[in-house]
């Protein structure tokens, strides 16, 4: 990727709704050259897709809970079974395999504490191989970004 590709990525990260005409004007490139570059970035998998970012609070999910999950065993088939099952829980926004004291860190979106209690008892503790679940409620978001620090 060259400097132009990085600039395309920065602009699209900031505003994924930019038209090709607007993008070309900001890059000072022709529309056809800009479109070719964007398509190449898409085909290479650098640009994975385009989404609308929703307000969690305005759509009824104002509560973020971070959940540390420890499995009974860390054998490959246990990890795989857990990962397949956790992908099916709609409230799970992110899930990471971790080093350290717990095996996974999961961020879930909930309506409130009662909603999390339901999620905890009906889903999280019933995931395959779960030995321990430790949860922390986020009090407020200080910073959340979807933009990678390109060119920093």
117 and 81 in one domain?
yes
In a domain, 142, yes or no: no
In a domain, 70, yes or no: yes
Q: How far apart are CA 106 and CA 92, in angstroms?
A: 7
CB burial class (10 A; 0-12, 13-18, 19+) of residue 43? exposed
Same-domain status, 88 and 123: yes
On whether both 125 and 68 belong to a single domain, the answer is yes
Q: How many domains is the chain built from?
A: 2
* CATH number of the domain residue 108 falls in: 3.30.70.920
pLDDT tens for the chain, 152 residues: list them: 999 999 999 999 999 999 999 999 999 999 999 999 999 999 999 999 999 999 999 999 999 999 999 999 999 999 999 999 999 999 999 999 999 999 999 999 999 999 999 999 999 999 999 999 999 999 999 999 999 999 76
> Which residues, 6 or more positions from 111, have their beta carbon under 8 angstroms from its beta carbon?
60, 61, 62, 63
Same domain flag for 36 and 91 = no
| Residue 147 lies inside a defined structural domain of this protein | no
Residues 74 and 33 in one domain: no
Q: Whole-model pTM?
A: 0.89
76 in the same domain as 14: no
Domain encompassing residue 11: 3-43
The CATH number of whichever domain residue 22 belongs to comes to 1.10.10.10
């Amino acid at each position: 990727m060259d400097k132009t590709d990085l600039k395309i990525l920065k602009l699209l990260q900031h505003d994924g709704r930019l038209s090709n005409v607007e993008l070309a004007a900001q890059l000072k490139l022709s529309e056809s050259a800009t479109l070719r570059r964007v398509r190449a970035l898409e085909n290479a998998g650098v640009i994975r897709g385009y989404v609308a970012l929703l307000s969690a609070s305005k759509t009824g999910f104002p509560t973020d809970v971070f959940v540390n999950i420890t499995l009974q065993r860390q054998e490959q088939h246990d990890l795989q079974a857990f990962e397949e099952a956790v992908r099916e829980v709609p409230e799970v926004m992110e899930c990471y395999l971790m080093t350290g004291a717990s095996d996974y860190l999961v961020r879930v979106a909930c309506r409130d504490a009662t909603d999390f209690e339901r999620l905890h008892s009906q889903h999280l503790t019933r995931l395959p191989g779960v030995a321990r679940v430790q949860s922390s409620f986020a009090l407020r978001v200080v910073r959340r970004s979807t933009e990678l620090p390109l060119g920093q």
